[in-house]
A and B are shown apart, each in its own frame.
Chain A
Amino acid sequence: MAQTSTKRLNPKATQTLLAFGSLILLIVIFTIASPNFFRPDNLVGILLATAVNGILAVGVTFIIITGGIDLSIGTVMTFGSVMAGVFITMWGLPIPFGIAAGILAGALCGLINGFNIAKLKIPPFIATLGMMMVTKGLNLILSGVKPVYFVDTPDFAKIATMPVFGIPMGVVIFFGAALVAAFILTKTILGRYAFAIGSNEEAARLSGINTDAWKMGIYALGGAFAGIAGLVMASRLQSAQPALGAGYELDAIAAAVIGGTSLSGGEGSILGTVIGAFIITVLTNGLRIMSVPQEWQMVVTGLIVIGAVYLDIMRRKVR
């Protein structure tokens, strides 16, 4: 059984292994290049900096596996932050209500995306682009175009920063979210259907699967992850910053793609996405430590994304 299960991973694991190798290589290079890189405080910094993008990326991985895309997760994430701020600071409700509001707000946005895509047949790119604009506007409207501070609830900051065995809570949430996501993707019916839809949606429908309903569920799941990311974000900043969010979706999609999730659907893994998210942060962090200007960090990250996808295409050709 053990033997067959390793055999089973082989084809898909190649890209994950490749991504993991690249991550190790980057860490080695930066460690050699700068004595400041491989230090506990910097490593914890990297972990915490990856948490938000990592949670977003894990959520969007499901959507990309179905062959779809979600451009709204960045601003939906902020929508989650703002809703938490509205519930906790503006309405004075207890923190758990704010947490629930943030996650549900994200899930609701995802559900609407899913409905527009599955039932109204609006292409995912357009449907989620629209949702991105709508939530961007709503964030400003609901917050009154200014940050919502969690002044009366200092405990809210613990969500991201409370140390657990020396690791900030936000990082624990990220790993927890990734584990749950990996379980959902590999062990549950939703995960199986995500792959089936992404591999051949019509064949899945003709197998009697209610593909529309499952797609709505998967977009809602992606939205819920964005809501969680929004809570971690707000907790770290001790405020909901309504103008933030746009641009985060691209980092998350990049992380999934670097990790081997195919934009044409049917292929991908949570582990790959997590590694992809770390590659992006390590790169940014390492280049900053080496005093490479921020504008050049972007150039390098962009080239890495293109290179990763090209490698993936080459790998497919060989196979």
Chain B
Amino acid sequence: MHHASMNEVLIRMDGIDKSFPGVHALDKCRFELAPGEVHGLVGENGAGKSTLMKILSGVYQKDAGTIELKGQLVEIHNTKGAQSLGISIIHQELNLMKHLSAAQNIYIGREHKKGLSVLVDDATINEKTRKLFQMINLDLDPQVKVSELTVAKQQMVEIAKALSFNMDVLIMDEPTSALSDTEIDDLFKVIADLKAKGKGIVYISHRMDELKRICDRVTVMRDGCYIATNPMKDITIEQIISQMVGREMFESSHPQIDTSSTEVVLEVKGLNRGRRVRDVSFKLHRGEILGFAGLMGAGRTETARAIFGADLMDSGEIHIKGKKVEIHHPKDAVAHGIGYLSEDRKQFGLALGLSVETNTVMASLTRFLKSLVIVDDQKTRRVAEDYVKRLNTKTPSVDQIIRNLSGGNQQKVVIGKWLVRDCDILIFDEPTRGIDVGAKSEIYRLLNELADQGKSIIMISSELPEILRMSHRVVVMCEGKVTGTLKASECTQEKIMHFATMRN
């Protein structure tokens, strides 16, 4: 034991089980936290880290298992219950009300009253907030509006809020994902301070270098299971990564054709868009499935949206079949034969209240006109029915409202929409998200068929097995930059994770 206080236990979670409809999110997980300890919690996207910590902080309820706080069994029914036990969580997406002041945010729901208890006493909460800020050496006016603060400062306000609950345990989910290096240093100072005061800190992060810097121990999770807990001193980053990805082998189901010699249909040069897309360059060949791997927030979706014209790029060039093109609006991209299948079908891909037919022809209605403006109903119907058959979409008829279809069948309608438009370049963003296992393999088969037909596909996926199984080549992104490009033959989960966590 390299840490004196490690014999004491602040939190002990054991046998934690949690299922959501269709997903077994946590399978007998355990976790331990000592006072004065910074405990790293790592795993791939979907490994269950956030779910486990949401159970500890009362956001979710466990299905089974026990939680001990300082040796006492506790039940945590909601976030309020967790807070009263001294457990606070700071989510990746901060939960502050931007139009209220820092102090009002910290004491929301616990306002001090005066004057027959009808007036709020801002003076008192401002004073209390000032004291909280002093505890973390934060020089900030409690009355400042949160909207005027940087993300880093907002995070400090969240930490102050947690302290206002007399917290013993602070859970931080990806706290540095939006911070600059100096801001990270400041945050780590505060964490070191809290640690010195005997608080226990759970630190969820993908950034291996940070884990090395501040964590005492690290727990690895994979596919909803507990894998291992080790003192940080005794383990290397490579060992952590190999624990994260496991040892399963995934067979490559597609023929290893060499697409590097075929025509380049899409070339992106020096693409920039905000902070999430920085100097991205890559080439896409005819008949190729180009996997885009990376962790959440790596900028893959943002890259796709910028190429498609859904967001305007700041700078960069897009060449299609050797010719430079200007894309200022999705209609420009569509005109150049690019189709984009969003990760969020319901929000960006489908008109849920309309029929299979309407959605199928939505991107190409101008091709189904009888005269100048009149839609040829019979033609649109025939085409929609044709694609329902071809894609094996399960729907009673093409008049069915999309909302009533399953996720997999909805995805097929979106695919159909772009096939009707005759797109040569298809960008699939998380093509199998929210799709059950049986339908997944059907989507994979479709992707392979499309590639065989000469379509070029960009496939953004957060599931490494999916990337390995489908891609001819893999582009790996981290924090808005392309950190590596791998051929299928040289791809391993470890290599991808290595590039995906490579900060620069």
A residues contacting B by CB (< 8 A) are 4, 7-8, 11, 187-193, 195-196, 199-200, 202-210, 266-267
- Tell whether B374 is near chain A: CB-to-CB under 8 Å: yes
With known contacts A8-B399, A11-B401, A203-B348, A189–B373 Cβ distance under 8 A: yes
B375, A208: Cβ atoms closer than 8 Å: no
List residues of B (206-243) whose CB comes within 8 Å of A's CBs. Answer: none
Which B residues are CB-close (under 8 A) to A200?
A: 347, 350-353
Residue of B nearest to A196 (CB): B351
Binds A, one of B254-262, B331-339, B485-493: B331-339
Q: A200-B350, A205-B329 are in contact. List 15 more A-B contacts (CB 8 A).
A: A189-B365, A189-B374, A190-B373, A192-B365, A193-B365, A195-B354, A196-B351, A203-B347, A203-B348, A203-B349, A203-B351, A207-B362, A207-B363, A208-B334, A266-B351
B365, A206: Cβ atoms closer than 8 Å: no
- Tell whether B57 is near chain A: CB-to-CB under 8 Å: no
A188, B329: Cβ atoms closer than 8 Å: no
Contact of A206 among B340, B352, B369, B377 (CB under 8 A): B340
Subset of 19 A-B contacts with CB under 8 Å? A4-B397, A187-B375, A188-B375, A189-B369, A199-B352, A199-B354, A202-B347, A202-B348, A203-B347, A204-B351, A205-B310, A205-B329, A205-B330, A206-B308, A206-B342, A207-B334, A207-B363, A208-B331, A208-B421
Which A residues are CB-close (under 8 A) to B350?
A: 200, 203
A187 to B369, CA, bound (A): 10
Q: Find the residue from B366, B374, B421 having the highest chain A CB count within 10 A.
A: B374
Which B residues are CB-close (under 8 A) to A191?
A: 375
A55 to B359, CA, bound (A): 30
| Total A-B pairs, Cβ < 8 A | 82
Closest 8 CB pairs of A and B: A208-B334, A199-B351, A207-B363, A208-B331, A188-B373, A200-B351, A207-B362, A199-B353
Contact of B375 among A4, A11, A192, A266 (CB under 8 A): A192
B residues contacting A by CB (< 8 A) are 308, 310, 329-331, 333-335, 340, 342, 347-354, 358, 362-363, 365-366, 369, 373-375, 377, 397, 399, 401, 417, 421
Which A residues are CB-close (under 8 A) to B331?
A: 208-210
Q: What distance in Å separates the Cβ of B202 from its nearest Cβ neighbour in chain A?
A: 36
Which B residues are CB-close (under 8 A) to A188?
A: 373-375
A208, B333: Cβ atoms closer than 8 Å: yes
B353, A266: Cβ atoms closer than 8 Å: yes
A7 to B357, CA, bound (A): 14
Q: What distance in Å separates the Cβ of B285 from its nearest Cβ neighbour in chain A?
A: 24
Q: Find the residue from A188, A193, A267 having the highest chain B CB count within 10 A.
A: A188
A187, B374: Cβ atoms closer than 8 Å: yes
B399, A4: Cβ atoms closer than 8 Å: yes
